[in-house]
Amino acid sequence: MNDFKAVEYKNGKLVFLDQTKLPLSEVYIETDDYERIAQAIERLEVRGAPQIGVVAAYGIALAFKNIIDNPREYFSKVYNRLINTRPTAVNLFWALNRMKTFFEKNADQKDLFNLLINEALSIHNDDIEKCDKIAANGLKIFDTPKTVLTHCNTGQLATGGGGTAFYVIKKAYQKNLVKFVYADETRPLLQGSRLTAFELDKAGIPFKIITDSTAAVLMSQGKIDIVITGADRIESNGDTANKIGTYNLAVLCNYHKIPFYIAAPTSTIDTSLNSGDQIQIEERNKDEIIKINGQLVTKENYDVFSPAFDVTPHNLIHGIITEVALHYPPFNFR
């Protein structure tokens, strides 16, 4: 088994694995430029709700690596640039607002850069700890060895630590509670076939990649025991936004009587909203649908609807795994 680090602060710079190059090339980017970090979030070089939050926190801190004449005005500029990179994953806002609160208390300190870096490191370490606890709580859903289906990517490539849903699967496999994993390819950006497959391979877990539309066939044949996915935003009532295609799986699980679980840190829970109807869903550029590796696969003038996420209603979710507990319905996170 080969391990890797998807993101780390090293020698005064943020070092992260460029996920757009995986799995064919492992390319690391080193930067101390907050604008480059913002671009990395937008380009999906870094992705996954918890990891976006961690990386954005480092972006805030690194922006203050040099002496700034008007720190409050500059902070506002950096904060606004980073907070507008992506609209759906709540961890981005959670991390940036934590950095904002910390900055406002320490803006006049001479050692501001090191103070901000330590706060970003604290956010990163907090996520590592949360991932460990999520995995431990996730083991409670396994009573016998199971075949698991998962969607999108929820491992080290999506978090600051070992992962959410993926880490549950990995820890369960190490305890002989996972027999096999089916990974949805996750169109249109193929996070499953590129990233989850990469992590499953690194972990030595037996798996097969399937197209998103193959899940129903496997379920009808009795080959799936449980489905676990991550989340980008969870509302007070348990409605959950996650990568497009997650809602499909929840509906299929409901029909085939297969338990459907969400795994995410509490920083993904947004108690400001009552239900999933209020979530702003990011729409992606149509090139992600009509092109593969930059090559057209259909006519360029065809119109496209490409939401990055969908919302799974709480009544389709068997349980939500956080670092605090394994939560069962009725969900009430207020």
Active-site position among 127, 232, 239, 310: 232
Q: Quick one: three-class SS letters along 251-319? A: HHHHHHCCCEEEECCHHHEECCCCCHHHCCCCECCCHHHHEECCEECCCCCCCCCCECEEEECHHHCCE
> What are the percentages of helix, strand and coil residues in the chain, rounded to 5?
45, 20, 40
The answer to whether 261 touches 321, Cβ cutoff 8 Å, is yes
303 is annotated as an active-site residue: no
Peptide bond into 23 cis (omega under 30): yes
d(CA 269, CA 236) in angstroms, rounded, equals 7
d(CA 215, CA 209) in angstroms, rounded, equals 11
Give the β-pairing of 178-184 and 146-150. parallel
User: Catalytic positions, please?
Assistant: 232
